[in-house]
Amino acid sequence: MEPHWVSILERKPELDKPVQVLAVKVRNDIEYDRAKLTSRGWVSLTDTVGTQVVAWLESDRLLDAAELSAVPKVGIRIPV
């Protein structure tokens, strides 16, 4: 499977399954994180604070930072 970002507005991952996520910080700075969606919302697995998850990576393997950055971010919408 070719890694690709899935907007959380389009589809959510399985509950309690750790995934790599694209998160937006203040001033639209982006960062990559590992998180899981629970019945109470997103939980960071790296204790990142102050971010809003906007997309999750659908992939059959974990990607390193350079690979994550190279995955096209076309069509990701930021929830308001």
Q: What is the pTM of this model?
A: 0.84
Predicted pLDDT of residue 75? 84
Q: What are phi and psi of 73, to 5 degrees?
A: -110, 30
C-alpha torsion angle, residues 28, 32, 33, 35 (rounded to 10) = 80
Q: Where are the domains of the chain?
A: 4-70
Instruction: Categorize the per-residue pLDDT at 51 as very low, low, confident or very high, splitting at 50, 70 and 90.
Output: confident
Distance of CA 39 to the CA centre of its chain: 17
Cα gap 14→76, rounded to integer Å: 19
The Cα-based distances of 35 to 10, 26, 43, 72 in angstroms read 18, 19, 5, 20
